[in-house]
Amino acid sequence: MTIKKLSLVLVCLVTGTLMAQDAKVTELLSKNLTDLPNKEGLMITVEYPPGSSDPVHRHNAHAFVYVLEGSIVMQVKGGKEVTLTQGQTFYEGPDDVHVVGRNASKTKPAKFVVFLVKEKGAPVLVPVSDHAR
């Protein structure tokens, strides 16, 4: 590969990395679940800009995902990677490690709603280090 071609490839890679933006999370509803001690329901939307992805994480909650627009790729440790489109769903359990969460498109945004049943006051997302995967 010539220096010129290598330089072009590196510029494309760096530009793509710089253009990838973080997901936007918006809380829609939080409700104490009085018949489930110390539990709450939380509903959020997540908007992935083109090329956006999440770090490896867990929710320590039951998470029910519904895709509103675009296409997303999801996978929990030990499960299959799946690509979901508008109207499709995904589930993560309290013990699952979310190893893949990203927009399937580099050019179009994606948006989904997540309903979580979790410990009251617990964080929505807990990062997982490499050794804990």
- Whether 31 maps to a domain, the answer reads yes
pLDDT single digits (tens) 14-32? 444 444 578 999 999 999 9
CATH number at residue 59: 2.60.120.10
- Whether 1 maps to a domain, the answer reads no
- Whether 91 maps to a domain, the answer reads yes
- Whether 13 maps to a domain, the answer reads no
Contact call for residues 109 and 44 (beta carbons, < 8 A):
no
CA distance 99 to 79: 9
What is the chain's alpha carbon radius of gyration, rounded to the nearest angstrom? 17
- Whether 40 maps to a domain, the answer reads yes
Instruction: Determine the Cα angle at 28 with ends 25 and 30, to 5°.
Output: 110
**H-run or E-run covering 3:** helix 3-19
- Whether 3 maps to a domain, the answer reads no
- Whether 69 maps to a domain, the answer reads yes
- Whether 108 maps to a domain, the answer reads yes
Global pTM? Answer: 0.80
Domain with 68 in it:
21-132
Q: Residue 91's beta-bridge partner residues?
A: 64
pLDDT single digits (tens) 75-126? 999 999 999 999 999 999 999 999 999 999 999 999 999 999 999 989 898 9
75: left (phi over 0), alpha (psi -120 to 50) or beta: beta
Domain count within the chain? 1
Three-state DSSP at 83 gives strand
Given the DSSP bridges, would you call strands 89-92 and 61-69 parallel, antiparallel or unpaired?
antiparallel
